[in-house]
Amino acid sequence: MAQVKSNLSRKEHQLLLSLFDSVSFTLLYKASVHGYSAANFHSKCDNQGPTLTIGYNYSGYIFGGYTCMSYSQSGGYKADNSAFLFYLKNEDKKSEPVRIPVTKAENAIYDVNNRGPDFGTALQFLYNNSAAIYSNPGNSYMFEPLEFCGNDFKLRECEVYRVELVEDLLEKPWRSIQWKAERKKELMNLIMTYKPTVSSVSQVRVLLVGPIGAGKSSFFNSVNSVFRGHVTSQAIAGCAVTSVTKQFRTYSIKAGREGKQLPIVLCDTMGLEESSGAGVCVEDIANIAMGNIPDRYQFNPSAPIHSKTPGCVKSKTIKDKIHCVAFVIDACKIKIMPSKLEDKLLAIREKLNLLGVPQLVLLTKVDEACPLVAEDIRNVYRSRFTERKIQEVGARFGIPVSCIVPIQNYSRELELDDNVNILLLSAIIQMLRFADNYFDDISYEEMNNLDTDSLLENNVNERRSRSAKGKVQISLKQECIGKE
């Protein structure tokens, strides 16, 4: 039998590859050749791993969906946080595809024997075993049918591709790291003996900020596990549609069960969400950074804390503030992060910059994102995939690559792994170093616990003034160049 050819042009193929990082497409099913029926689809596509379904209609639109879950006629919904729909803009197929992330991950696909590719009943291909689709936006995916496919639900063609990661390792790691048990002990000792440069501060306070399910609480549990010598689960962690963490929590870590507290406190927040009035709000992150929010404060997404809110901390000192912020980002979801969520993160970055709080990124789930890293965590700095992910995060959020640290949290394991521990401990070391930068930049008054709201306001105004002066200087320089 002659080889079945794709309907995609070379340009369209390249555009769809841009939806992923280092993957290849293998055509599994072509409806015009194999038949427009659910049975034929399942015979070709079941148990094939991640797939991309592409529909072509008579109005010239190209659209479809991706899932990392294998079809298997399981008889119901399958959860997939990484699933998304997409379409190529009909008027300009030279622009990048528009990605529509799943909004109800537990219903990402509907996998039954009498249906073709079905994305949470929001978009069903081969409807009634015919060259048609069924559209019901709002159920698991939000999209506008007119933009998505021109309201044309008759299929000219339907194709399904297996999506495979192109495995690629660098000859030499792009960031040096020692993978030895002695190095783990050395890092643990550096953390246990660390002392803040400000005498009034006994523990560095690091705030963890990130989307729901990125791994904030799991990071604390993982670091705690390293120092306890076994896997722990003190902070509530899990996978849910809304944030598992509802309160502001501060967690100290002990060097062993009966040991002393370490000189670092990890502060956990409610997860960020895309929509307004949901998840932790930008104003509350700023309030946490300024020391206004007490431990176990119950977040109210629709009403940020203010001076008259019960429990608001009114008398703050340098030890109450946040000395470093770690943004926790899921490596598997960078490509499909909604623009509104990205805007929230950028708004938080802007607030923290005005407050002078150093920031870094913890890139979590690198083992889930790259099979080579899952096979051996020591490949994390040899993986081209991971390197590109880190560069993408840096470009999108304006954070230097040197401030982005990949980690693996303990989520499935029952025993500790020295190599995983080394990555986690290296991240803590970076936090302590960034806190040192914060202490180096504070004023004499703050250092002596004379920290007040007016001092803070002066600091913010000074930074704004510097920023404004910089813009004026640039404007004058441009004006001079124009005159020349």
Edge-first strand order for the sheet with 84-88 is: 23-30, 155-165, 51-57, 62-67, 84-88, 98-101
pLDDT at 146 > cutoff 80: yes
Q: pLDDT-based confidence at 310, cuts 50/70/90?
A: low
Long-range Cβ pairs for the range 393-400 (8 Å, 24+): 393/329, 393/334, 393/361, 393/363, 396/334, 396/342, 397/327, 397/342, 397/345, 397/346, 397/349, 397/361, 398/346, 398/349, 399/327, 399/349, 399/359, 399/360, 399/361
Domain-located, residue 477: no
Report d(CA 356, CA 419) in Å as an integer.
33
Domain-located, residue 484: no
Does one domain contain both 198 and 161?
A: no
Half-sphere exposure of 102 (CA within 13 A, CB side): 25
Domain that holds residue 57: 10-165
Does one domain contain both 109 and 242?
A: no
pLDDT of residue 332: 86
pLDDT of residue 312: 67
Q: pLDDT-based confidence at 245, cuts 50/70/90?
A: low
End-to-end CA distance of the chain: 71
Does one domain contain both 300 and 423?
A: yes
Does one domain contain both 201 and 282?
A: yes
Q: pLDDT-based confidence at 282, cuts 50/70/90?
A: confident
3-state secondary structure 232-297: CCCCCCCCCCCCCCCEEEEEEEECCCCCCEEEEEEEECCCECCCCCCECCHHHHHHHHCCCCCCCE
Domain-located, residue 288: yes
Buried b (16+ CB within 10 A) or exposed e, 279-288: bbbbebbbbb
pLDDT of residue 249: 85
Domain-located, residue 472: no
Q: pLDDT-based confidence at 309, cuts 50/70/90?
A: low
pLDDT at 357 > cutoff 90: yes
pLDDT of residue 243: 45
Domain-located, residue 464: no
> Nearest Cα to 56, choosing from 155, 202, 162, 165?
155
Does one domain contain both 261 and 382?
A: yes
pLDDT at 298 > cutoff 90: no
Domain-located, residue 468: no
pLDDT at 297 > cutoff 80: no
Of 98, 131, 165, which residue constitutes the final position of a domain? 165
pLDDT of residue 371: 85
Q: Per mean pLDDT, which of 263-277, 302-316, 360-374, 439-453 is the most reliable? A: 360-374
Does one domain contain both 128 and 268?
A: no
Q: pLDDT-based confidence at 163, cuts 50/70/90?
A: very high
Number of domains in the chain: 2
pLDDT at 19 > cutoff 80: yes
Name the residue with higher pLDDT: 125 or 275: 125
CATH code at 324? 3.40.50.300
pLDDT at 167 > cutoff 80: no
Q: What is the pLDDT of residues 250-267, one digit of tens each?
A: 899 998 888 899 999 999
CA 323 to chain centroid, in Å, comes to: 22
Does one domain contain both 103 and 150?
A: yes
pLDDT of residue 447: 59
Name the residue with higher pLDDT: 26 or 306: 26
pLDDT of residue 2: 55
Q: What percent of the chain has pLDDT over 70?
A: 83
Report d(CA 400, CA 406) in Å as an integer.
14
Question: Looking at 148-162, 206-220, 327-341, which range is the least confident one?
Answer: 327-341
When pLDDT is averaged across residues 119-127 and rounded to a whole number, the result is: 95
Q: Which amino acid is at 47?
A: N
pLDDT of residue 380: 96
When pLDDT is averaged across residues 237-262 and rounded to a whole number, the result is: 73
pLDDT at 114 > cutoff 80: yes
Does one domain contain both 188 and 218?
A: yes
Computed over every residue of the chain, the mean pLDDT equals 85
Name the residue with higher pLDDT: 139 or 245: 139
Question: Treating both helix axes as pointing N-terminal to C-terminal, what angle do 384-397 and 339-355 enclose, rounded to 10 degrees?
Answer: 70
Report d(CA 378, CA 367) in Å as an integer.
10
pLDDT of residue 484: 38
pLDDT at 472 > cutoff 50: no
Q: Is 402 exposed, middle or buried (0-12, 13-18, 19+ CB in 10 A)?
A: exposed
Does one domain contain both 319 and 406?
A: yes
pLDDT at 474 > cutoff 70: no
pLDDT of residue 8: 92
Does one domain contain both 26 and 78?
A: yes
pLDDT of residue 466: 58
pLDDT at 289 > cutoff 60: yes
Of 165, 190, 213, which residue constitutes the final position of a domain? 165
pLDDT of residue 467: 56
Does one domain contain both 100 and 199?
A: no
When pLDDT is averaged across residues 447-466 and rounded to a whole number, the result is: 53
Domain-located, residue 247: yes
pLDDT of residue 206: 97
When pLDDT is averaged across residues 55-75 and rounded to a whole number, the result is: 94
Q: pLDDT-based confidence at 337, cuts 50/70/90?
A: confident
Q: pLDDT-based confidence at 54, cuts 50/70/90?
A: very high
pLDDT at 471 > cutoff 80: no
Q: What percent of the chain has pLDDT over 90?
A: 58
Does one domain contain both 23 and 106?
A: yes
Domain-located, residue 4: no
